[in-house]
Amino acid sequence: MMTQTTTNISPTRMERLRQNDRLKTAKRAHKLLEDKYDEMVHKFSELIKKNRSLRELVEKKLTQALQLFVAANTQMTTAAVDAALAMHHHAISLTCSTQNIMGLTVPHVSIVDLDPVKNTILLTTPDKFDESINLLQQLTTIIIELANIEKTCSMLADEIQKVRRRINSLEYNLIPNIQSTIKFITMKLDENQRETQIRVMKIKDMQNKTK
């Protein structure tokens, strides 16, 4: 296979050594990228499982909380519900930092609870109301953790695709081109060597005839 790069290549032994070094470097990079790709896919699979588990937990707790809230609502007036919700109100603050996942920098959101939640139980509210509120408060932390994982999965998926493209570029483009160049140089060197041997033989033959 002749590539466009061979037209600008000088078929010398020095150039062949240089191309051999390029080939070794490309193959080493290919191996490192494949190892990185396998590790990233493994990590991605772990995060996907955790993501699925958290989603199921969120759906379960949210369903339970809504069922309890609806049941409690039948025993309370609208004004009583509003007053009870106000008593359970709390303020939180979020901080955003970064984490390193497989060499990838991803954002990570954490909760800073400025007004710690207390399991306030009001004598005027049904038990089911308090249980629903507690479930919803638990969901705050879980949902933020889920958001962190989903963002990491999204960024990791993009990075996996980039690494796969680099691997393919090395495997199907750069490495074959270098191998083709080495083959071209070797062919030219062998050809030059044969021509040199033929010239030497002709010269010797002419010398022998003149004796």
Averaged over successive runs of 10 residues, the pLDDT of the chain (211 residues) comes to: 60 93 97 96 96 95 89 77 70 87 90 56 68 84 93 96 97 96 92 80 73 61
Question: What pLDDT does residue 2 have?
Answer: 44
pTM of the predicted model as reported, rounded to 2 decimal places: 0.76
Whether residue 31 lies inside any domain: the answer is yes
What distance in Å separates the CA atoms of residue 54 and residue 146, rounded to the nearest whole number?
6
132 and 65 in contact (C-beta within 8 Å)? yes
Count: domains in the chain: 1
Answer yes or no: is 1 within a domain: no
Q: What pLDDT, on the 0 to 100 scale, is given for residue 108?
A: 92
Please indicate, yes or no, if residue 209 is contained in any of the structural domains.
no
Q: Is residue 199, in this structure, part of any structural domain at all? A: yes
Structural domain span for residue 196: 12-120+128-204
**Residue 127 dihedral angles phi and psi, to the nearest 5°:** -60, -35
Whether 162 is covered by a domain: the verdict is: yes
Q: 4 in a domain, yes or no?
A: no
Asked if residues 82 and 124 have their Cβ atoms less than 8 Å apart, the reply is no
Q: Which two tokens stand for residue 118?
A: 């207390």
Asked if the structure places residue 7 within a domain, the reply is no
CATH code: domain of residue 87: 1.10.287.3240
pLDDT in the model for residue 6: 59
Write out the DSSP string of 77-145.
Answer: -HHHHHHHHHHT----EEEEEEEEETTEEEEEEEEE-SS-------TTS-HHHHHHHHHHHHHHHHHHH
5 within some domain: no
Residue 178: burial class (beta carbons within 10 Å; 0-12, 13-18, 19+): buried
How far apart CA 89 and CA 91 sit, in angstroms, is 7
Please report, for residues 102, 122, 151, 169, the alpha-carbon distance to residue 28 in angstroms, rounded to integers and kept in the order given. Answer: 19, 67, 31, 14
